[in-house]
Amino acid sequence: MDHFNFQENGQLFAEQVPVSAIADTYGTPCYVYSRATLERHWKAFDDAAGDHPHLVCYAVKANSNLAILSILAKLGSGFDIVSGGELARVLEAGGEPAKVVFSGVGKTVEEIEYALEAGVGCFNVESEPELHRIAKVAERLNKVARISVRVNPDVDAGTHPYISTGLKENKFGIAIEQAPAVYQQAAAYPQLKIVGVDCHIGSQLTEIAPFIEALERLLVLIDQLAEQGIVIEHLDVGGGLGVPYDGEEPPLPSEYAAALRQRLQDRPNLKLIFEPGRAIAANAGILLTKVEFLKPTEAKHFAIVDAAMNDLIRPALYSAYQAIEATDRNLQRETAVYDVVGPVCETGDFLGKNRELAIAEGDLLAVRSAGAYGFCMSSNYNSRPRPAEILVDDDETIEIRRRETFAELWKGEVVLP
């Protein structure tokens, strides 16, 4: 459930604020987030894990605005990061380094140094050479690196091929059969402390079964490691829980966590770590955009809007479906079927195809479920300044990132004499 609803007057509201007022004040396109929705989704995971020891590590990549991170930090969230930049954001937003898990297949020496100096809670190691690199950097800095091995359990999560991560042919993690040998190597390094086992099998999963399959494989591994004298303190199950974009019915965080906890009944001390991104942020945000032109052609009707693939790339990149609706239901408009497209010079620049909409020039549209993998994947392609981001907190609006200016487009560049 989110806090973007139509009120009786036919207007779309973000919490207590009509989105049309946000467009009037801040212009379009802009992202609008609901604080109550974000908090509700984070708490859904936290509550679902109940009294089993656990930590919800929000996946920063889904939406890394400092305001969003600071809201979650205040709730006590941990963070899953994949770069030095994400760590810097978490620290800037007031996140606790000890609650950070550091994932990603290509950690550089500089990033490892930075994370060790900051005191991150755990490196999720994705390859043997990375293990050796972390050990070397830790030795040089005279630090102990807390590590877990990201295991690839070879489970088919049944997601879009670009976002599946837990299959043998994906670049992520270490094959589960090789994991015990890698743990043995880790145990031999005095500057490494083994703390966990980790996996992440994919994103936008709409069934519980693949999560459970992965969990069961990891539990077998944990027992195997115990026989070798390696004690595992935490089990990081990654992120990946899906959201309804187009009528999907993914399990609720409570159902998902209950299924996991059931398998962990006899392991009350095995701490659970979650790395949800999308399930927390996606439906806590919309992208507001204005219709610039309606362009009927022989083959199609186009609604040309002021947001484009540079603002929200998911439709263009993954053919992802995101619901689009007019924000004022009172307007008397003719209904037609439109491709909703942006001004960018690419045929792939669309936000939605074949959408039945009753709209006219100047109308406002909301692209739903845009809070995750929206702004954070945006670019300046076609020299388009990136949009503003607005947070709604009850009846208050806060500009948490202002629209970029033209001068910011070329920040750091030079004109040659």
Task: Report the interface residues with ligand LLP, using CB under 6 A.
Answer: 59, 62, 80, 103, 163, 200, 203-204, 238-241, 275-279, 314, 318, 373
Which active-site residues does the annotation give? 345
For ligand LLP, the closer CB: 261 or 278: 278
- Helix 209-227 with 253-263: angle, nearest 10 deg: 30
The answer to whether 180 and 221 are in contact (CB under 8 A) is: yes
- Minimum distance, C-beta of residue 358 to ligand LLP, in the bound complex (Å): 29
Which residue's CB is nearer to ligand LLP, number 198 or number 393?
198
| Smallest gap from residue 170 Cβ to ligand LLP (A) | 10
Taking the complex as a whole, the smallest distance from the CB of residue 209 to ligand LLP amounts, in Å, to 16
Helical residues (DSSP H) of 9-155, grouped into ranges: 19-26, 35-49, 66-75, 84-92, 109-118, 128-141
The answer to whether the annotation marks 106 as part of a ligand binding site is no
> Any binding-site annotation on 275?
yes
Strand partners, 324: 367
Q: How far is the CB of 282 from ligand LLP (least distance, A)?
A: 8
**Residue 114, marked binder:** no
Taking only Cα atoms into account, the Rg of the chain, rounded to an integer number of angstroms, comes to 23
For the bound state, the minimum distance from the C-beta of residue 238 to ligand LLP, rounded and expressed in Å, comes to: 5
User: 333 labelled as ligand-binding?
Assistant: no
- Full DSSP string of 332-382: ---EEEEEEE-SSSSTT-EEEEEEEEE--TT-EEEE-S-SSSSGGG---GG
User: Which residue number, 148 or 327, has a Cβ lying nearer to ligand LLP?
Assistant: 148
List the one residue out of 84, 54, 83, 81 whose CA is nearest residue 69: 81
> Smallest distance from the beta carbon of 252 to ligand LLP, in angstroms?
14
Q: Edge-to-edge, what's the strand order for the sheet holding 17-18?
A: 4-6, 12-14, 17-18
How far CA 376 is from CA of 20, 91, 300, 373, 390, in Å, comes to 24, 18, 31, 6, 14
277 is in an annotated binding site: yes
Measured CA to CA, the distance from residue 409 to residue 405 in angstroms comes to: 7
Answer for the pair 69, 89: CB distance below 8 angstroms, yes or no: yes
> Is the CB of 145 or the CB of 313 nearer to ligand LLP?
313
- State how far the Cα of 138 lies from the Cα of 145, in Å rounded to an integer: 6
- Residue whose CB is less far from ligand LLP, 23 or 307: 307
Nearer to ligand LLP, 78 or 276 (CB): 276
Helix, coil or strand: residue 62: helix
346 among the known binding-site residues?
A: yes
Residue 318 known to bind ligand: yes
The pair of structure tokens assigned to 10 is 């036919």
Sequence ranges of the binding site for substrate:
278, 314, 318, 346, 373
What are the binding residues?
A: 240, 275-278, 314, 318, 346, 373
Binding-site positions for pyridoxal 5'-phosphate: 240, 275-278, 373
